[in-house]
Structure 1
Amino acid sequence: MTVTVRYTCPHCGAVVSVERRPDLADRSVTTLPQPGWEYAGPDEEFEAVDGIEFHCGEDGTVTDLEGTPIEGCGRPFYLNFVRYEQGVELEPEPPTYGGPRFDFSS
């Protein structure tokens, strides 16, 4: 089973959609990749990696918040999943401070 999840580009506000399993936990959307994390494209197998790398408008259709198709800015942004090691949630190394960060766990 998959669900469609929407993410907003932190650079221009365009909305991208991706089909994924509903049990994947999102940590944040950032303008830079987390050091040492592995990313896949939105059309690749991303359940075994640490997140998804988007290129706004280049990976498929993007819309405004109302759903009207628009052109994206072409800049990369990153969806970071929650990572676990032996059942313990891991923080990014180094932790992300500053820049856009959207925590979905609060």
Structure 2
Amino acid sequence: MVTVSYHCPRCGAVAELQRGAYLDDKCVTPDPLDGWTYADAHEAADADPDGDPYADSEGVVIVCGAAETDGDGCGEPYYLSFVKFDEGREVEPNVAVEEVRFDFRR
């Protein structure tokens, strides 16, 4: 198990999770990725203190300001998504056209 820190994409508050070192992070987003299932950070951590609480998860939903953030934060949920595979190939999330952003500032 390792302790990993994540920043809320809305307010920047830091959350810390204890999880297996073998899990690869894909991204942290304000909204869930289409097709991913998420474990609740608080419930999963309380469920099995000796094992990896996220071993069967494709990601984790973190509530900013909950226990994982020591009470600091905006109170909004955000989503940590792990890399997942289907038949040996990495699965890419489906992103709606409205969510695609281009930054042309220089």
User: 1:103 — aligned with what?
Assistant: none
Q: Which has the higher strand share?
A: 1
User: 1:11 — aligned with what?
Assistant: 10
User: 1:93 — aligned with what?
Assistant: 94
User: 1:101 — aligned with what?
Assistant: none
Among the aligned pairs, what percent are the same residue? 39
Counterparts of 1:39-58 in structure 2, within 5 Å, are 39-43=38-42, 44=44, 45-58=53-66
Asked whether the equivalents of residues 9 and 15 of structure 1 are also in contact (C-alpha less than 8 Å), the reply is yes
- Post-superposition Cα deviations, 1:56-82, rounded to whole Å, max 9, x if no partner, equal 012x142xxxxxx66211001000100
Asked whether the equivalents of residues 39 and 46 of structure 1 are also in contact (C-alpha less than 8 Å), the reply is no
- Counterpart residue identity of residue 30, structure 2: T
User: How far apart in 2 are the matches of 1:70 and 1:23?
Assistant: 28
Asked whether the equivalents of residues 41 and 54 of structure 1 are also in contact (C-alpha less than 8 Å), the reply is yes
Unaligned residue ranges in structure 2 (runs of 5+): 45-52, 102-106
How high is the TM-score relative to the length of structure 2? 0.76
User: How far apart in 1 are the matches of 2:76 and 2:31?
Assistant: 10
Greater RCO (Cα-Cα under 8 Å, separation 6 or more): 1
User: How far apart in 2 are the matches of 1:72 and 1:17?
Assistant: 13
Larger of the two Rg values belongs to structure: 2
Asked whether the equivalents of residues 8 and 14 of structure 2 are also in contact (C-alpha less than 8 Å), the reply is yes
Shift, 1:4, TM fit: 0.1
Counterparts of 1:5-84 in structure 2, within 5 Å, are 5-43=4-42, 44=44, 45-58=53-66, 60-62=67-69, 71-84=72-85
- Counterpart residue identity of residue 34, structure 2: P
Q: Which has the higher helix share?
A: 2
User: How far apart in 2 are the matches of 1:97 and 1:19?
Assistant: 31
